[in-house]
Structure 1
Amino acid sequence: MRNCPIREWICHSWNPFSGIVYIRCMQKCYLLSLCCIISISGMAQPQGQSSLYHFPLKGRILMHALPERDVEIQTLEDFNAPFRRIDAIKPRVAAEPVSKTGLEKKASAPDPSVLAGFVAQGPNGTPLDNNLAISKAGLLVSAVNTTFRVTDSAGTFLFSRSLAAIANELGNLTRTFDPHVYYDFERDRFILVFLNGSDHTNTNVIVGFSETNDPRGAWNFYAIPGNTSSNDWWSDYPFIGISDNALYISVLLWMDGESGWETDAIDENIWQIDLEKGYSGDSLRVKQFHGLNVGGKQLWNTRPLSGAVEKYGPGFYLIGNRPKDIMNDTLFLIHIAGTWDTASTDLTIKVVKSDKPYGLQPNVTQKGGRRLRTNYCDIQNGYYFNGNIYFCANSIDVSSGRPGVYVGRISDVAGNNPVARGQVFGVDSLDLNYPSIAYSGAGWPDESAIVMCLHNSQNSYPGTSAFSLGRDWTFSNLVRLKEGEGAMNVLFSDSLERWGDYTGIQRDYGKTGRVWIAGSFGKANGTSQTWIAAVGNSDPQLGLETIPALPYTLYPNPGKLVYIQFELARDTEVEVILIDANGRSLFTQKQTLIAGKQKLRLNTGEVPGIYFLLIRDDKGREMIREKVVVSH
């Protein structure tokens, strides 16, 4: 392949560069040229077989019989010098801005309904690192630094153990942290992943698979080395997802004594793990990818993307961005085709430019004056649905200067030219950070989603909120699920508290439109605690049958005044909705039309811009959706 220029937009300026990609598969390095789509083959070279590992079962643990340790190692990620480097380049919110509207209204989508809410476990350190999974039978697993807890869907306590107890049973007791749990809805099983050890001599990725649908029962546990190189590296900050036959774990690699912030990660491992072997307790087949490099710059902080309503595969997607840039519009779409038992496994990277940039958000101030760390402008999670990818990320909201929630959608991901569109949900009186997104619709073409996040301001303590994205991808109000009761004050020697690293969310596979979330809130004693909530899609159209698209003609487009013509087979009360490019509903009008040919004129006041026209029938079903460009 010949070298081609790739454009990456940083700080509102274009920077063309010739791209070279280095991808190492188990210490084997392949050099290829980059031209919009980067491709490697983990098995294409003679030495490619070395990319496959087999890890034996580390231990079978019966959770309810596991003794709890008398002493636990507390996770306290204190402030240190490397943090100051990234904080120095972050923007600041100098003072509490005056709310422009006094409202937290964004657009026309229905607000999420609050169906349940209860307190779960508190911390054994900071940050909490909330995560959760819930089965179709209603068994809910909540994981934080550093405990694993099971309740029913009403919050009734059933079981709890520390991660240290699990690690001790496996013979790997050092520091346990960064838990993630996942519910495999097709196999009706749970997966638990956490890290153990924080230097090259003791770093491991602990992976557990439940043998049944009861997380209190037997689990098969494996230890994947956190350092497979000859360097002094350790693993940190994992994220997980599953395809129809594999578990994917992305995990950062730091040098001993480092934890990011001062420099980019040394590397990132992407582990591809045989699901069936894990559930059965057999020797685990694992493939490793690492050394992702685009334009001479390391690619790290990637996120695995599971299916929204069903698993997909054997190919699998991950997504990444530039998580420390002041402003950037570049996304990286990673696809892994094939598995450990195919003749070749290809990893490709597509460089995708979004129409909306993301950027590094400021640290923020709590009520009372103590500050909260907001980390990177990294992608937090996402999912794959009907050929599209949906995701959310930390970002600055440039309209207020506060942290906001970046929500993105990439269409035609399998094509040569995927299209990425994004928007930032921000509230001018609140700081919003650490979002998670889950699908809340009833099947294609409904693209509804619910996003949860943590909130804070100088007038209210840290808590948990949620908002909806409607089927037309417009925002709802922000709904505050749990208000804080006090300021976080754990790191007494420093005024900059660890607010979090990530939150948890999962679609309820037994209830259409319902989503479960795991967030946190500040307590009066200076600590934080987990808040679990169930929220629902309150769209009255949820689950309604769709109708075939109505043939229509729209002209001129672009134009000053725009006309749309269509024909109705019967008298119908229609609802006409006009939405601007920021997702705000400009007007809604209902009118009964007599059967026959119709001609509607759209007058936006001749204000130039991009608008979206929706027309629905008397049952709320979408008949027409069209982008309209108004020009002089």
Structure 2
Amino acid sequence: MRATLFIPLFFLTITCLSQHQPLVGKSHTVNLKSITQKDKRYFEIQHLESPVPGGDSERDHLLKLKQQISSKYGRKSHLINQKSSSAAPDPIIQNGYEGSYPTGSVPCDNTLAISNSGLVMTARNSSYMIYDTQADSALVVGPLRDFIPGIPGSLNDYDPKVIYDPMEDRFVLIFLLGNAPPSTYIVTCFPETSDPTGDWNVYFLDGDPFSTGHWSDYPAIALSEEELFITINLLVPGGSWQTSFHQTLIWQIDKMDGYSGNPTLNSVIWEDNTEGGIKIRNMHPVRGGIYPKGPNQFFLSNRNFALESDSIYLVEITNTIASGTATRNITLLHSGNNYYLAPSARQSISDSLQTNDSRVLGGIWENDEIHFVQNCMDTASGNSAVYHGIISGISSGSYVCSGDYVRDAVKDYGYPNIAHIGETASDDKYILSFEYVSPVDSAGTACVFYDGVDYSNFNMIRKGEGVLNALSGTQERWGDYTGIHKKYNQPCSVWSCGTFAKSDNSYASWVSEIRTQSADCSSSIGIDEKPSTFSEFKLYPNPSADLIDLKFVMEKTGDASICIYDISGRQIEQLFNGNVKKGENLLTFSVNHLSAGSYQLTIVTDEEEIAVKSFIRK
């Protein structure tokens, strides 16, 4: 136990093929509904600028590299915008809302997830919001410190990441606490139920897991069918950019332990992630497109600090912790199209916006391909742009990597993210969201649609109103990332969260829904998913390619109809229509005759009670 923080930390290391098994103890449970306005720590003094990824010396080195590449590929003003006659159709930008919170520092570090019932959880430095899109109102708004009551305010909280688990109907939130050993932690929060305003189980992962004097920086997360994965960088406090980076770690965690509030998390740390003697830096986990994948999990990285390169690192963890057979594979790929270190982005004032390095910022795995995005330079214009990479042949291991650019002749683009927006697993359709700015465009957030062949026009999500001007000096923070998330039971809908400049030159976050123009996407799958009126209503396994068990409890004997609907709301099959006895009931049904994709199962009783659950046919 660390007596000064009252955080229970147990640590046991078992070394095997660069695996370490930490014993992570549960810290506490917090109920968001029970937190009063008086409890909220609005009064705490926060440092305006969150820690720089990699530290200040890394930022200084990046500026020198950006000057070198900008002198080689200067900005041009005579180009026309990227738009071909065969361009993809524009997506539909729906109404949105401002997701900001008054205690946030800069940059925003926007992250977002949406549940099947339409609850949106957003977070930024250093606050969170849970918003009900059906009621068009915020359920809970507060600082991240709501999750860690009693922790000293001298430890800064920052770099939040949130994700939604459609298999368990829960969110997962992580954020960093402290940036100097021994007070450095990855705060990992699991809700006990599908109600995110209720109880959350909170665990403190040690940010210096080997007691080597390092701190954890820049997390990224993904969920598989059974596990939570977190990537993190270990850094030396105050070192130069060459020496401060120690290594990138992969945390592999049994997510059900967290949901259940087990006293300890079954977890493994993968270290010594190298290829050809080179440490792989800033790895990013890859998420499933239509649904979380598993048991294998992929990660991506590149040569973040190279002036130009086409090297892509593909890392694979081949099984679950519970299997006892998990291994790690590392493959170096070459895309053929170089990515270049992005220049700083220009505003209408002398203060430019930082674009950081070329690390991968988002990745999606679907239809035997991995799509990923990162910052880069468009050498044709000299502007900051988006690099969109594709790795095919995932199932066979015969990988082929390619890359393309999303760019503009005037605007600088930065901090992209990506989400699958296809209606089925075979639809190669994606939304690439990003931030934009130029000397004539205030900082805002935008997106393009990729239809598997071409990109749409630039589509503005939220126009900026002013400039970003919060720090002293000539450079402002812009990233370090943006949020985007698929609505799993509405396959051609994603939600994004990005930064825009307000009229008072402050930073704000904008949350918005983005849809494709498909006729099948005008509404959710079948009926909107509703909380079950039954005391128990579960589908398992989900997703499935064969059999699914439906388990439910009737409060009293009565007639019930059980049906399957497709994404357009069309009834596909009536599984049962008849009398059901009071108590626990089980219905096993086959889905092997259904096409791969998303469906909903409904139960309607003779009293017109309706319960709806989504499921995936793999």
State the TM-score, normalized to the length of structure 2.
Answer: 0.77
The yes-or-no answer on 1:84 pairing with 2:60 is yes
Distance (whole Å) between structure 2 residues aligned to residue 502 and residue 253 of structure 1: 19
Equivalent position of 1:328 in the other structure: 309
CA distance in 1, matches of 2:225, 2:326: 16
8 A contact 2:234–2:246 mirrored in 1? yes
The answer (yes or no) to whether the contact 2:81–2:408 under 8 Å persists in 1 is no
Check the 8 A contact 2:15/2:21 in 1, yes or no: no
The 8 Å contact of residues 58 and 170 in structure 1, kept in 2 or not, is answered as no
Match of 1:142 in 2: 122
Distance 1:163 1:465, change over 3 A: same
Judging changes above 3 Å, is the alpha-carbon distance between structure 1 residues 249 and 81 closer, same or farther for their aligned structure 2 residues?
A: closer
Aligned with residue 33 of structure 2, among 64, 73, 78: 64
Partner of 1:507: 486
Q: Is the 8 A contact 1:106 1:477 kept in 2?
A: no
What aligned pairs does 1:224-303 form with structure 2 within 5 A after superposition?
Answer: 224-258=205-239, 261=241, 265-282=245-262, 283-303=264-284
Equivalenced residues, count: 498
> Contact 2:185 / 2:204 at 8 angstroms: preserved in 1?
yes
Q: In the alignment, residue 438 of structure 1 is paired with which amino acid?
A: A
C-alpha deviation, 1:477, in angstroms: 0.3
C-alpha separation in 1, matches of 2:79 and 2:96: 31
**Quick one: which amino acid aligns to residue 436 of structure 1?**
N
Q: The residue matched to 1:58 in structure 2 has which SS?
A: strand
Q: Distance in 1 between matches of 2:500 and 2:267?
A: 38
CA contact (8 A) 2:432 2:447 kept: yes
1:172 and 1:207, CA in 2 relative to 1: closer, same or farther beyond 3 A? farther
Deviation of 1:364 (Å): 1.9
Q: Tell me if the contact between 2:342 and 2:357 (Cα under 8 Å) persists in the aligned partners.
A: yes
Select 1:532's aligned residue among 492, 507, 511.
511
Instruction: Tell whether 2:114 aligns with 1:114.
Output: no
Letter in structure 1 aligned against 2:339:
Y
Contact kept? 1:26, 1:288, Cα under 8 Å: no
Q: Provide the rounded CA distance (Å) in 1 between the counterparts of 2:196 and 2:415.
A: 27
Instruction: Please tell me whether the aligned partners of residues 74 and 382 of structure 2 are also in contact (alpha carbons under 8 angstroms).
Output: no
CA distance in 1, matches of 2:13, 2:387: 34
Structure 1 residues 107 and 68: alpha-carbon distance in aligned structure 2, compared to 1, 3 A threshold: farther
* Shift in Å, 1:281: 0.2
Q: Which residue of 2 aligns with 1:151?
A: 131
CA contact (8 A) 1:106 1:475 kept: no
Cα distance in 1 for residues equivalent to 2:51 and 2:313 = 32
Q: CA deviation at 1:263?
A: 5.3
- Does structure 2 retain, via aligned residues, the 8 Å contact 1:105–1:478? no
Cα distance in 1, alignment partners of residues 95 and 243 from structure 2: 42
1:384 aligned counterpart, secondary structure: strand
Aligned partner of 1:474 in structure 2 is 454
Distance 1:340 1:292, change over 3 A: same
Matched position secondary structure for 2:305: coil
Per the TM alignment, residue 316 of structure 1 is displaced from its structure 2 partner at its CA by: 1.0
Partner amino acid, structure 2, of 1:507: K
Corresponding residue of 1:214:
195
Residue identity over aligned pairs, in percent, reads 29
Q: Secondary structure at the match of 1:278?
A: helix
Between the aligned partners of 2:275 and 2:231, the Cα distance in structure 1 is 17
Does structure 1 residue 191 correspond to structure 2 residue 169?
no
**In terms of mean alpha carbon deviation, does 159-168 or 443-452 score higher?**
159-168
Deviation at 1:330, TM superposition (A): 1.0
Residue segments in structure 2 that go unaligned for 5+ positions in a row: 1-11, 523-618
From the superposition, tell whether residues 241 and 187 of structure 1 become closer, same or farther in structure 2 (CA, over 3 Å).
same
Aligned equivalent of 1:446, options 420, 427, 436: 427
364, 378, 400: which is aligned to 1:397?
378
CA distance in 1, matches of 2:92, 2:151: 43
Conserved in 2, the CA contact under 8 Å of 1:366 and 1:461?
yes
SS at match of 2:62: helix
Correspondence 1:516 to 2:495: yes
Secondary structure of the corresponding residue to residue 225 of structure 2: coil
The answer to whether the 8 A contact 1:441-1:513 is kept is yes
Q: How large is the RMSD of aligned CA atoms in angstroms?
A: 2.3
Distance 1:393 1:190, change over 3 A: same
Q: Report what 1:560 is aligned to.
A: none
8 Å CA contact 1:404–1:426 kept in 2: the answer is: yes
Report the 3-state secondary structure (helix = DSSP H, G, I; strand = E; otherwise coil) of the residue aligned with 2:26.
Answer: coil
Deviation string 1:267-300 (CA, Å, 9 cap, x unpaired) is 1111000111110000211100112111221101
Unpaired segments ≥5 residues, structure 1: 1-24, 30-40, 43-47, 544-632
Residues 485 and 383 of structure 1, relative CA distance in 2, 3 Å threshold:
same
* Distance change >3 Å, CA 502–CA 27, structure 1 → 2: farther
Give the TM-score, by structure 1 length.
0.75
Q: Name which of 340, 361, 367 aligns with 2:342.
A: 361
Q: Is the 8 A contact 2:236 2:244 kept in 1?
A: no
Give the C-alpha shift of residue 510 in structure 1.
Answer: 2.7
Q: What's the CA shift for 1:542?
A: 7.4
Q: Note if 1:495 corresponds to 2:467.
A: no
Query: 1:419 and 1:281 mapped to 2: Cα distance?
Result: 42
> What is the alpha-carbon distance in structure 1 between the residues aligned to residue 503 and residue 104 of structure 2?
16
Shift of the alpha carbon at 1:261? 4.8
How far is 1:255 from its partner? 0.6
Q: Which moved more, 1:340-349 or 1:460-469?
A: 340-349
C-alpha contact 2:236 2:243 (8 A) present in aligned 1? no
Alpha carbons of 1:388 and 1:95: their partners in 2 closer, same or farther (altered >3 Å)? closer
> Is 1:104–1:427's contact at 8 Å kept on the other side of the alignment?
no
For residue 415 of structure 1, report the CA deviation from its aligned partner. 2.9
Q: 2:465 aligns with which of 467, 470, 485?
A: 485
2:549 — aligned with what? none
